[in-house]
């Protein structure tokens, strides 16, 4: 893939330089020519056009095609994969489901150095999964079962973003692929599949009550509680995530409070409605939500 | 020969006045309407682009809310493609083709009037959506399901679909008119291999349009049926498929690129020989390349869908055709180079725009070749890299050759030279601004910036490139405005042009500037690919009858000739001014507004008015139509 890019770039630069130099040279040389001396017929003209226009151009293009075909088959070849995850695009966030039942949103952990098979689904309109540093993009199209493979050679965090225009908040449909060492990944996946921890402080207990007795449960699930909504992100371990609103703002007590009260202020057009909670209720709810997590390897 | 001028003037002139402003069928008057309207839409599309560039000048700006941004980028695309690029090239064609092929009119003058008014009305129809804040907002590509009722309940998409159906009626008429004119009305002796390259470019454009347009009209009709009448073409829940929309759209949409590029290259190939003071080297190859592009252009549409996970076999095939479509472009570039090297280049403003465009076309070409590669395209599609690529090609071809043509043909159309000094200032601002505006987009795309986003986050290293693009956009905008002001001043105060200020080769320069109502005193007999260079007897548009000129002064008439060899076949009586084409467009406009608001009575009134107008148009008036 990188070979394809650098060879195409190099040839492109040569072509641009050649056209500029030959055109420029022709203009400069022609300035001294007298109009009477211009020959109507250029004997070498047709030969030049055919050799360079069809011969050389054609050879370069066919060579590019073959190199490109090889890169394509390398990328597209279905390979055995130890891990298959399902990513579903929603307006405007990403849901990731793992084979052991773990569900998360907008932060997709994978084991570094392994090829991961991704099933691409859409819950509404067409989206496109694009992590520029890891893989070419493939669209998530309602009614179609698309798939791709991604691989991160080194542990780290890789930024991705929806690439297919999907409406109002296409700009804020951001996600991160987090590549962990395989051991860390296994731990993460196990922890992520576990139910949410019970709240331990009085404030958090109160927050859980707020959550369960309000409209939150219509859309959000917290495994281990009666909340089982499916429209919004699964919040079972939401405190492990670093952003709110699919990468729109960093997660902090302040941003979470603002988000709960008026998400539209942070992400105009977002499908989550504003919430009519008292200040006390919101603080309790935030305290509860921020307990939803587990220790992650740093 | 002046003895002929008087009866011809009598036969061909139109009554002055507001009535004629609406009823004119004169190709030159209609062409000017086309050009003014298209350039007005260019200004609107440019304003939309400028506002978007302000919003994107820095990360997280809040000048626009997302809905407004989405409407702006959608209307920018619709405007620049449908309401500026296509009609501006049709406009130059409507003016120049009858002159370049040595006749006096387009084949169907009233159809010509109808297609102009239809273009204007469809454009205003779509723009009227802004008045209620409901402009189309699903992109000019309008993918389902985003454009379907559940996700786009408002009339935004109805404006899009109905507006494009409406416009499609007009462009289909234009295509038929052009093809008939080019193939059946060339002056005697203008065999196909003596036809100017610009006319070939227009022929290739209109052939493509004729075959591409039905796919778009079909797709938009199907979308309307699905949106309002519970059909399910694009609904996977009921056995439809969202990719069907994409196929239909791009079967139209990719040929559309060549519909815009080919006449632009035709303008280039007209201006280049004039200012290189020699015929184009490899005329035949250039012509074949244009036609080959139009043909292969129908076999590459799926490269817009490389990321939709289609079978590898089909996308490999389309990848190959997408690589190969660059060969005809290569042929043309090398023909231009050979012409430059063997000529004596005169760096007047039109030539500067042409030379600048060659470089831009090559840059856009090589990035297009890259995007023909499936893995490369999957990495860069829907990113700013693609935005850079197609602006180098499509904005390049719609800005540089069009400005070149205004400087080059302006003296013919308005009779006065445009100011050369300001022309050069304009060129350099446009050239530098263009590259500042669009080149950094390549880098942004490679850095991961997706298209069609109303904002972006800070800390990604995208801010400075975006700022440069915004500055470049405004430099380019100022450059274009300078040319407009130059033009507006020059048509009144510029130096008189005379018949042939550039010593060009094609027939339009053999008559006066601006040409008389009847274009040529005698229909010339053409004996060369470069008639104005090689046939000195063509002076003042009046080839003496003893040297082959045909007066055709007994009536409002033109000559029909055979398709290949242009041998005379018939004398055709041409229609005079008529208000029916205008009424027909009014009827259609009422019909489409009726369909938009879905009030049957309004649509019915429009439909009846349309039917009456058609009847009025075709009603026999006792003129002999055959000879």
**pLDDT tens digits in sequence order for chain A, 298 residues long:** 678 899 999 999 999 999 999 999 999 999 889 988 898 889 999 999 999 999 999 999 999 999 999 988 877 676 788 899 999 999 999 999 999 999 999 999 999 999 999 999 999 999 999 999 998 899 999 999 999 999 999 999 999 999 999 999 999 999 999 999 999 999 999 999 999 999 999 999 999 999 999 999 999 999 999 999 999 999 999 999 999 999 999 999 999 999 999 999 999 999 999 999 999 999 999 999 999 998 776 5
pLDDT at B597: 95
Residue B281 to residue A49, Cβ atoms within 8 A: yes
What is the tens place of the pLDDT at every residue in B362-387? Answer: 999 999 999 999 999 999 999 999 99
Q: How far apart are CA B276 and CA B263, in angstroms?
A: 20
Q: How far apart are CA B230 and CA B234, in angstroms?
A: 11
Crossing angle (nearest 10°) for helices B312-324 and B326-342 = 10
Name the residue facing A268 among B66, B307, B460 (closest C-beta).
B66
CA distance B298 to chain A (A): 19
Task: List the CATH number of the domain containing A247.
Answer: 2.60.40.420
DSSP letters for chain A: -HHHHHHHHHHHHHHHHHHHHHHHHHHHHHHTS-GGG--S--TTHHHHIIIIIIIIHHHHHHHHHHHHHHHHHHHH-----SEEEEEEEETTEEEEE-TTS-EEESEEEEETTS-EEEEEEESSS-EEEEETTTEEEEEE-TT--EEEEE--SSSEEEEEEE-S--STTGGG-EEEEEEEPHHHHHHHHHHHHSPPPPP-SHHHHHHHHHHHTSTHHHH-B-TTSS-B--SS---TTGGG-SEETTTTEE--HHHHHHHHH-HHHHSTT-SSPP----HHHHHHHHHHHTT-------
Interface of B with A in 356-415 (CB under 8 A): 358-359, 362-363, 366-367, 369-370, 372-376, 378-379, 381-383
H or E element at residue B274: helix B242-276
Residue of A nearest to B236 (CA): A143
Contacts of B445 in chain A (CB under 8 A): none
Chain-centroid distance, C-alpha A184:
22
Structural domain of A108:
83-193
Structural domain ending residue among the three candidates A44, A76, A108: A76
Q: How far apart are CA B213 and CA B216, in angstroms?
A: 5
| C-alpha to C-alpha distances, A213 to A208, A216, A257, nearest whole angstrom | 8, 8, 18
Q: What sign does the dihedral B293-B297-B298-B299 (CA atoms) show? A: positive
Residues for chain B: how many in total?
A: 627
What letter does residue B189 receive in the DSSP assignment?
A: T
User: pTM (2 decimals)?
Assistant: 0.96
The answer on A188 and A91 residing in a single domain is: yes
Q: Copy the structure tokens of residue B14.
A: 């139109």
Contact A195, A224 (CB under 8 A): yes
Q: What sign does the dihedral B355-B357-B363-B366 (CA atoms) show? A: negative
β-bridge pairing A83-90 and A93-97: antiparallel
Residue of B nearest to A146 (CA): B309
CA distance B281 to chain A (A): 6
Which residues are B557's β-sheet partners?
B573
pLDDT at B286: 97
B108: nearest Cα among B172, B16, B39: B172
The answer on A95 and A175 residing in a single domain is: yes
The answer on A181 and A109 residing in a single domain is: yes
Q: Is B551 helix (H, G, I), strand (E, B) or coil?
A: coil
Contacts of A48 in chain B (CB under 8 A): 334, 338
Residue A144 to residue B309, Cβ atoms within 8 A: yes
Chain-centroid distance, C-alpha B564:
26
Residue of B nearest to A149 (CA): B309
Cβ burial B248-261 (10 Å sphere, 16+ → b, else e): bbbbbbbbbbbbbb
Structural domain includes residue A276? yes
Structural domain includes residue A294? no
pLDDT at A145: 95
Residue B359 to residue A25, Cβ atoms within 8 A: no
Chain-centroid distance, C-alpha B542:
31
Name the residue facing A65 among B146, B319, B331 (closest C-beta).
B319
Residue of B nearest to A72 (CA): B375
Residue A72 to residue B65, Cβ atoms within 8 A: no
Residue B375 to residue A72, Cβ atoms within 8 A: yes
How many Cα atoms are found within 13 Å in the side-chain-facing hemisphere of B302?
A: 20
Q: Is B338 helix (H, G, I), strand (E, B) or coil?
A: helix
pLDDT at B366: 96
CA distance B534 to chain A (A): 12
Structural domain includes residue A140? yes
Residue A8 to residue B373, Cβ atoms within 8 A: yes
Which residues are A177's β-sheet partners?
A108, A158
DSSP letters for B101-113: TT-SS-S-HHHHH
The H-assigned helical ranges of B494-558 are 531-534
Q: Is B137 helix (H, G, I), strand (E, B) or coil?
A: coil
Residue A171 to residue B455, Cβ atoms within 8 A: yes
Structural domain includes residue A285? yes
B120: nearest Cα among B171, B57, B155, B196: B171
What letter does residue B280 receive in the DSSP assignment?
A: P
Contacts of B327 in chain A (CB under 8 A): 53-54, 57-58, 61
The answer on A184 and A106 residing in a single domain is: yes
Structural domain includes residue A297? no
Q: Copy the structure tokens of residue A173.
A: 């449909």
pLDDT at B430: 98
Residue A16 to residue B363, Cβ atoms within 8 A: yes
The answer on A163 and A89 residing in a single domain is: yes
pLDDT at B1: 45
Name the residue facing B381 among A26, A44, A137 (closest C-beta).
A137
The answer on A189 and A107 residing in a single domain is: yes
Cα distance between the two ends of chain B: 25
Structural domain includes residue A155? yes
Residue A136 to residue B379, Cβ atoms within 8 A: yes
CA distance B140 to chain A (A): 11
Interface of B with A in 23-62 (CB under 8 A): none
Q: Is B53 helix (H, G, I), strand (E, B) or coil?
A: helix
CA distance B409 to chain A (A): 23
The answer on A186 and A91 residing in a single domain is: yes
Structural domain ending residue among the three candidates A155, A171, A193: A193
The answer on A179 and A89 residing in a single domain is: yes
Residue B307 to residue A76, Cβ atoms within 8 A: no
| C-alpha to C-alpha distances, B367 to B390, B392, B565, nearest whole angstrom | 9, 9, 40
State which residues of chain B have pLDDT below 50.
Answer: 1, 624-627
The answer on A138 and A51 residing in a single domain is: no
Name the residue facing B146 among A1, A126, A148 (closest C-beta).
A126
Q: Copy the structure tokens of residue B166.
A: 């409406």
**Would you call B545 an interface residue with chain A, using a CB distance cutoff of 8 Å?**
no
Structural domain includes residue A157? yes
Contacts of A137 in chain B (CB under 8 A): 307, 378-379, 381-382
Residue A16 to residue B362, Cβ atoms within 8 A: yes
Q: Which long-range contacts (CB under 8 A, 24 or more apart) does B312-316 make?
A: B312/A72, B312/A73, B312/A76, B315/B374, B316/A69, B316/A72, B316/B374
CA distance B342 to chain A (A): 7
Q: How far apart are CA B328 and CA A77, in angstroms?
A: 33
Contact A177, A110 (CB under 8 A): yes
Name the residue facing A68 among B276, B319, B330 (closest C-beta).
B319
Structural domain ending residue among the three candidates A15, A49, A76: A76
Residue A53 to residue B331, Cβ atoms within 8 A: yes
Tally of domains within chain A: 3
A296: nearest Cα among A224, A237, A249: A237
Which residues are B383's β-sheet partners?
B450
B407: nearest Cα among B339, B363, B356, B333: B356
The answer on A88 and A56 residing in a single domain is: no
Contacts of B446 in chain A (CB under 8 A): 132
Query: Which of A16, A17, A27 best probes binding to B when mutated, by most B CB atoms within 10 angstroms?
Result: A27
Structural domain includes residue A162? yes
CA distance A43 to chain B (A): 10
The answer on A97 and A185 residing in a single domain is: yes
Which residues are B375's β-sheet partners?
none
Contact B199, B161 (CB under 8 A): no
Residue A53 to residue B316, Cβ atoms within 8 A: no
Name the residue facing A132 among B333, B448, B456 (closest C-beta).
B448
**Would you call B435 an interface residue with chain A, using a CB distance cutoff of 8 Å?**
no
**Would you call B340 an interface residue with chain A, using a CB distance cutoff of 8 Å?**
yes
The answer on A7 and A57 residing in a single domain is: yes
């Amino acid at each position: 893939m990188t070979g394809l890019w650098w060879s195409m770039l190099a040839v492109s630069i040569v072509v641009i330089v050649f056209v500029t130099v030959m055109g420029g040279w022709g203009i400069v040389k022609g300035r001294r020519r007298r109009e009477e001396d211009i020959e109507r017929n250029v004997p070498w003209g047709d030969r030049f056009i055919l050799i360079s226009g069809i011969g050389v151009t054609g050879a370069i293009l066919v060579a590019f095609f073959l190199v490109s075909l090889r890169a394509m088959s390398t990328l597209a070849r279905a390979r055995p994969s130890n891990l298959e995850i399902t990513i579903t695009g929603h307006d405007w966030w990403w849901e990731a489901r793992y084979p052991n039942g773990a569900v998360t949103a907008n932060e997709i952990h994978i084991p570094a150095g392994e090829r991961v098979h991704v099933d691409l689904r859409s819950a509404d309109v067409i989206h496109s999964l694009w992590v520029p540093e890891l893989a070419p993009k493939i669209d998530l199209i309602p009614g179609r079962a698309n798939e791709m493979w991604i691989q991160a050679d080194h542990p780290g965090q890789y930024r991705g973003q929806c690439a297919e225009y999907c409406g109002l908040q296409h700009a804020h449909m951001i996600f991160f692929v987090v590549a962990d060492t395989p051991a860390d990944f296994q731990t993460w996946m196990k922890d992520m599949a576990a139910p949410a921890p019970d709240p331990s402080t009085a404030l958090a207990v109160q927050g859980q009550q707020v959550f369960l007795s309000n409209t939150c449960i219509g859309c959000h699930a917290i495994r281990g509680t009666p909340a089982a909504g499916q429209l919004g992100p699964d919040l079972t371990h939401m405190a492990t995530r670093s952003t709110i609103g699919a990468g729109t703002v960093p997660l902090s007590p302040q941003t979470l409070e603002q988000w709960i009260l008026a998400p539209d202020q942070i992400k105009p057009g977002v499908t989550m409605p504003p919430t009519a909670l008292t200040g006390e209720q919101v603080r309790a709810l935030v305290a509860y939500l921020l307990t939803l997590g587990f220790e992650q390897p740093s | 020969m002046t003895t002929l001028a008087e009866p011809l003037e009598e036969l061909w002139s139109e009554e002055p006045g507001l009535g004629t402003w609406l009823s004119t069928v004169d190709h030159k008057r209609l062409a000017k309407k086309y050009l003014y309207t298209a350039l007005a839409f260019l200004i609107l599309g440019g304003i939309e682009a400028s506002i978007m560039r302000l919003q994107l000048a820095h990360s997280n700006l809040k000048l626009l809310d997302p809905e407004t941004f989405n409407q702006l980028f959608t209307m920018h695309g619709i405007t620049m493609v449908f309401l500026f690029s296509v009609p501006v090239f049709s406009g130059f064609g409507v003016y120049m083709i009858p002159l370049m092929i040595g006749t006096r009119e387009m084949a169907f003058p009233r159809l010509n009037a109808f297609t102009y008014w239809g273009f204007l009305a469809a454009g205003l129809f779509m723009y009227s959506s802004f008045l209620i804040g409901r402009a189309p907002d699903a992109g000019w590509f309008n993918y389902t399901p985003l454009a379907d009722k559940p996700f786009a309940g408002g009339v935004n998409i109805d404006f899009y679909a109905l507006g494009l159906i409406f416009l499609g009626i007009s462009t289909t008429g234009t295509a038929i008119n052009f093809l008939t004119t080019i193939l059946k009305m060339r002056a005697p002796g203008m065999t196909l291999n003596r036809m100017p390259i610009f006319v070939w470019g227009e022929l290739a454009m209109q052939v493509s349009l004729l075959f591409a347009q039905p796919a778009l009209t079909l797709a938009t009709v199907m979308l309307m049926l699905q949106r309002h009448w519970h059909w399910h073409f694009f609904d996977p829940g009921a056995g439809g498929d969202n990719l069907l929309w994409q196929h239909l759209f791009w079967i139209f949409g990719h040929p559309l690129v060549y519909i815009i590029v080919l006449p632009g290259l035709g303008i280039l190939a007209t201006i280049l020989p004039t200012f290189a003071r020699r015929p184009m080297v490899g005329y035949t190859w250039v012509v074949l390349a244009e036609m080959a592009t139009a043909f292969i252009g129908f076999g590459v549409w799926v490269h817009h869908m490389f990321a939709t996970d289609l079978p590898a076999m089909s996308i490999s095939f389309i990848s190959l055709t997408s690589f190969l479509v660059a060969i005809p472009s290569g042929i043309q570039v090398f023909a231009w180079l050979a012409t430059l090297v063997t000529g004596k280049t005169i760096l007047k403003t039109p030539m500067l725009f042409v030379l600048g465009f060659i470089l831009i076309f090559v840059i856009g070409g090589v990035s297009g070749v890259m995007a023909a590669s499936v893995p490369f395209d999957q990495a860069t599609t829907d990113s700013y890299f693609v935005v850079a690529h197609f602006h180098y090609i499509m904005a390049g071809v719609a800005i540089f050759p069009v400005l070149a043509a205004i400087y080059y043909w302006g003296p013919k159309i308005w009779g006065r030279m445009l100011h050369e000094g300001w022309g050069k200032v304009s060129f350099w601002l446009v050239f530098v601004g263009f590259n500042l505006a669009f080149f950094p987009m390549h880098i942004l795309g490679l850095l991961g910036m997706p298209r069609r986003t109303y904002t972006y986050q800070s800390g990604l290293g995208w801010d400075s490139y975006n700022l440069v693009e915004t500055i470049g956009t405004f430099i380019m905008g100022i450059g274009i405005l300078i040319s407009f002001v130059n033009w507006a001043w020059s048509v009144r105060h510029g130096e008189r042009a005379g018949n042939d200020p550039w010593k060009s080769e094609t027939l339009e320069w053999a008559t006066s500037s601006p040409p008389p109502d009847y274009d040529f005193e005698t229909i010339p007999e053409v004996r060369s690919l470069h008639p104005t260079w090689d046939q000195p007897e063509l002076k003042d548009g009046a080839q003496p009858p003893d040297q082959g000129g045909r007066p055709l002064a007994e009536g409002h008439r033109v000559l029909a000739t055979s398709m290949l060899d242009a041998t005379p076949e018939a004398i055709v009586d041409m229609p005079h001014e008529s208000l029916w084409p205008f009424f027909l467009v009014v009827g259609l406009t009422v019909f489409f507004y009726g369909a938009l608001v879905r009030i049957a009575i309004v649509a019915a009134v429009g439909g009846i008015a349309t039917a009456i107008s058609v009847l009025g148009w075709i009603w026999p008036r006792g003129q002999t139509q055959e000879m």
